[in-house]
Structure 1
Amino acid sequence: MRPATLRAMTQAVTSPSSPAHHAATLRAALAQLDGVILGKPGQIRLAVACLLARGHLLIEDQPGVGKTTLAGALARTFGLHFRRVQFTADLLPADLTGVSVWDAATATFRFLEGPVFSEVLLADEINRATPRTQGALLEAMEERQVSEGGVTRPLPDPFFVIATQNPAAFVGTSPLPEAQLDRFLMTVTLGYPDPRAERTLLETGGRSLSVRDLGAVLDAGTLLSMQREVDGVHAAPPLLDYLQRLAGATRQHPALAAGLSPRALLALLSAARAWAYLEGRRMALPEDVQAVFPALAAHRLPPRDPGVNVTELLTRMLAETPIP
C-alpha cells in the first residue's frame, strides 16, 4: 500500500481532533509501517505504543534485521524531525548534547545544539560507546533537557529516543548500566523475518517500500494530542491490583536478583494505557498489561543465573498470576 493511499484512509473523518479521526490515523500509520518492516506487526505495535506513552525504545538484535529501518520509518510516519548518531568508542558527550563556542563577533559564547535536540533521536549501536557517552543521554531521557555550562535547555516535545544495541557477545560492546536500561520504557527484538516476508524481500530486492518513500501520516501536534488522550485512559482499581500482583511476583521470584521498582510499575501502567488506546479503547484491561509486560519488564529484571531466559520466565509469570 502506497503512502498516498494510506493518507487517504484518514480523510474520511472530518474532524482532525476527534477520537475517531485519531483511530483512523493510527490505523493508517500502522499499515504504512507494516509495509516497510515486513512480518513484524507485534514489534511495530509495541514501538508505536512506546511512543504514545512518552517512553523510549531499545531495539536489541544483530545487524541487518531492520533496527535502523524501523527507527527511520517511525519518524517519517509520525512526521517528526529525525537525527541519527552512530555510537562509537570515540564519541564524546559533547558530540551528542552540543557545545558552547566563542563568538568573536559578539564577544559571547554561543551554544551549538547537538543531535539530541531532535524529536526522534536514533542512538545507533549505543553499546559501542563508552559509559561516559552513554550516560550523557540519561538527563535527556529522564528530564527531557540538557544542562551545559550552567544553563538548562529544554528538548523538543515530543522527544523520543530509539536506541539499537548489538548482542553483548559482539566485539567492542559496553553493556548499558541498569540505571540507563531503566530509562527505556520497552525493549523489543526484531529477529529474523518469517519465510514469507523474507521471500518478499528477495523478490523485490528490499525495494517494496523504502523509508525514503514514506510520507507523514500525522504530525507532532496530532501525536501530542494522542499522548494526552493516552494519559486519560481509565485504569480501574482491579487493574491496579493486577499490576501490584505482577510486581510482587517479580520481587519474590527466586530466579531474579531484583523485582520491578515503583517507577517500573508506573511505566507498566503507562504502557498498558497506550496499548489499550491502540486497541481503540478508553479503559485499560488485563490483556493490555499482558501484551506489554515482557517488553517492559525483561530488561529491568537481572537474573541470578545468566542462563535464565527472563522473557520466558515472564510469560510463565503471566500465566500463573491470577487476574482480580
Structure 2
Amino acid sequence: MKIFLWVADYSGCGYYRCLLPGAELAKRGHDVMADGSTVPKEVHSGECDVIVGQRVCNEGASVAWQKLARAGHTKLVFETDDLLTAVDPSNRIAHAFYDSEMVRRYRENLAVADVVTVTTERLAEHARELNPTAAIHVLPNQIPGWLLEHERPTSPDPDLVTIGWRGGLSHQRDFGELAKPLRAFLQHPLNRGVAEFHAMGAPYHERVASNHGRVRWTGWHESVADFLKAVDFDLTVIPLRPSTFNDAKSDLALLETAALGIPAIVSDTGPYTYSPGIGGPVAPAIRVGSNDWWQDPLRLLVHDTAYREQLGKEAREWAAGRTVEGNAWRWEEAYSS
C-alpha cells in the first residue's frame, strides 16, 4: 500500500498514532509518507491508496479533507485518540481550542471517512454514532520493542526511592487527585531522606514541594524517545479524575512505564479499570479508588523493595505483548479493510 500519514503533531500523539506504526509498516514493504502541514499533489491526484488524517478539524485541513472525500479515489482513514467532543473545561487551553466550530468540523470529517481508527472501545462507540457505515478499528497504543530492554538511568541520589509522574499541563485536575496525599507523604518523618518526587513534563513538583519533602523536575525533551530514555522512576503515580473525557483515554501513561519495568499506582477509573479492546489481561498495578487514600500504596511500594521490584517485573512482562513490532499487523489490517 501507498500510505500518506497526515499527522497533527510530532509529539506523543503523532509519534504513537502515526509515526511509530508508520515506520514499522515501511519495514513491512509499504510505501509510507508523513507530513504535518500540506497534502502532497500526488495524494490529491489519487496516486495514494490510503490517507490517514489525524483528528482533522482545522479549517483549511477540513476543506482539503472534504474535497478528498468527494473525489472518492483514495481511502480516507480518520485517526483520533481522544474524545475531543468532551474536553474538560479545566483543560483551558484544549477546551478553548476545541470550540464549537472545531468540534463541528471534527464530527463532519469523521463522518465522511471510510475507516476510523481509535485507541479504546469507548472511542469506538463514539465513532460508530458519528459514522455508522465506516469500518471502526480499535488500535491500542504500542511501545517500541527496544524499551523492554532499556536500562533506566539512576537518579541523582540513588539512595532515594523516586516517585515519578509524567504529563502535560492538561492534567491540572487529575493531579489534584494526588497532590495533597503525596505532599503529606513526602513530608512525613518516616519518608524524609527515603523518597523523592520527580515530575517530568509539566512542573507539577511545585504543587507538592515543602520544607521537608524532596522534589525535582525535568522539562520536555526533543523527542518521545529521548523522554523515555531519561525516565528514572522507581515507581510511578498516575492520577486520573473520573470524567467522560478520561473514560475514553488510552492507557499510554501506564504502558510506557510498565515497559520500563516500573510499578504503578493508578486511579481506578478510565483506561486503568479494563484491558484495551484487543483482549488480554489488565495491566498489573495498584489501583486507588476515588474515596481511597494514596498514602497506603505509596508507603507499600516505597518501603517494600522486594514487592516493588516484583510488581515492576510483572508490568514489564505485560507490556511485552504491546510492542509495535508485534502489533503493526493491526494497522495493516485497518488500512486495508
TM beyond 0.5: no
- TM-score between the two structures when normalised by the length of structure 1: 0.27
Structure of greater relative contact order (alpha carbons < 8 Å, 6+ residues apart) = 1
TM superposition score normalised by structure 2: 0.26
